[in-house]
Homo-oligomer: A and B are copies of this chain.
């Protein structure tokens, strides 16, 4: 399978990877969530090469995750802002961060903390079924897909 073919797969995991599945894109998105919008700021913070950054921003724009908007004329300059689709990825992003904090320990003790803006308390992210409020786990869900009807088979 080629990298460029991922987008056309029916599997949503493959499609997700076509958008955020490379070395840098999720880090760029992280910085967007931090409020970063400009080329040089991304480049300084990430240590990514300018060439690759240019590429990734283009592809994020093409995927509808970021949009490029002029913020001044003379000289014309653009910045990159999250679209609704980009903002909508934030919960998934939080779920990844939460898993990582729990299962991929840092070498030093530092860590990110997410606080609720309303209560000021640390949040405890959880992925639930909005219909029932029940947490989603590997054993509570069954998948149906054209390519693999028996997703429910033995797992783990």
Contacts and interface: CB of A to CB of B under 8 A. Distances in A.
A110 interface: yes
Interface size on A, as a range, is 35 or more
A22 interface: yes
Contact of A139 (B8, B17, B117): B117
Given A16-B104, A35-B155, A138 B22 contact: no
A10 interface: yes
A40 to B, nearest CB: 17
A100 B23 contact: no
Contacts of A88: 99, 102-103
27 contacts: A10-B106, A10-B108, A10-B110, A12-B112, A13-B93, A13-B100, A16-B99, A16-B104, A17-B26, A21-B22, A33-B151, A34-B153, A34-B155, A35-B150, A35-B151, A35-B153, A91-B95, A91-B127, A91-B137, A94-B141, A116-B129, A116-B131, A123-B129, A123-B136, A124-B130, A125-B128, A128-B128
